[in-house]
Amino acid sequence: MSLRIVFMGTPEFSVPTLSVLAQAGHRIVSVYTQPPRPGGRRGLDLQKSPVHQAAELLGIPVRTPLNFKNEADREEFRALDADVAVVVAYGLLLPEAILNGTRLGCYNGHASLLPRWRGAAPIQRAIMAGDHETGMMVMKIDVGLDTGPVAMTKAVAIGPEMTAGELHDKLMLAGASLMRDAMDKLEAGDLPLTPQPDEGALYAAKISKAETRIDFSRPAQEVHNHIRGLSPFPGAWFEADIGGKAERIKVLSSVVETAGGVAGTVLFDDLTIACGEGSVRLTRLQKAGGKVLGAEEFRRGTPIAAGTRLA
């Protein structure tokens, strides 16, 4: 026996889970993903999502509804006669008709230790908040936002220098194996569900452009967490006067230092920047349209002298 699964996901983060479930012998009757979006070098070509591309390689039918407001899309979903829907970073809130459209319901792979960091950006928010641990959870979806009962959990440590990109990759693989185990248990009728507590709930709001600028008036540890929490995308940044022109410079990694000074001042030529408390040494940077460079190589092409005030 194997489960008839509808898989619902969109980005690279979702692909290992799709692959693992297919390899485990379950029948993926359809994949749902976000519609192709404009992309390519000039933004003119329609780009299929990573999940869309992976499904085609696996020979699985793909559906790309904009939403499920159309009754025909809902009926098409129900007609698949699936046992369960597996959802990993799909990008759409599922209406009750879809939640009830399979025999066993919909199960979500969520990248946090719920109820902490419900919502769109749990990986970034955990690092930006200075959390030392996060994880993957398999939960049964209800009508709330990441409020359903939890089936399985796998904790993942967040190292002091770990970036959002590095944590993303760890959670991506942890989530795939966790969902495989959860579906095996569900097939065997042995997947217990535990309601989430209300205490400790936090919402991981989507990252806005307005909060990506580095505020050096904050303590150095907070600045460091901000930088690594937004690395590699969308990236934390500051502006510096380069050759009489204000240029935006993205920072991909940093190190907390103890030297102090006026916040936003370059203290040493190695790009140690004073913060509200302590300082940060910037170790990987990128100019607009340029490559990511280590600090030493970056300084050779873009010297920012000690004493410079950064905006």
| Domain shared by 14 and 104, yes or no | yes
First vs last C-alpha separation in the chain: 62
Between β-strands 272-274 and 279-287, what pairing exists: parallel, antiparallel or unpaired?
antiparallel
User: Does the annotation place 113 within a ligand binding site?
Assistant: yes
CB 232 within 8 A of CB 223: no
Last residue of a domain, one of 183, 203, 223: 203
Task: Decide: pTM greater than 0.75.
Answer: yes
CATH of the domain at 155: 3.40.50.170
| Domain shared by 218 and 196, yes or no | no
What's the pLDDT at 242? 84
pLDDT for 169-185, tens place per residue? 999 999 999 999 999 99
Pick the closest to residue 212 from 179, 242, 263, 249 (CA basis): 249
What's the pLDDT at 93? 93
User: Does the annotation place 35 within a ligand binding site?
Assistant: no
Calpha distance 66→200 (Å, rounded): 33
CB 101 within 8 A of CB 79: no
User: Does the annotation place 282 within a ligand binding site?
Assistant: no
Q: Which domain holds residue 224?
A: 209-301
User: Does the annotation place 112 within a ligand binding site?
Assistant: yes
Pick out the chain residues at pLDDT < 70.
1, 40-43
Encoded amino acid at 247, one letter = E
Calpha distance 286→53 (Å, rounded): 30
What's the pLDDT at 39? 78
| Domain shared by 68 and 181, yes or no | yes
Number of folded domains that form the chain: 2
CATH of the domain at 249: 3.10.25.10
| Domain shared by 181 and 215, yes or no | no
Assess if residue 10 is contained within a domain.
yes
Last residue of a domain, one of 184, 203, 222: 203
Last residue of a domain, one of 158, 185, 203: 203
DSSP state, 310?
Answer: P
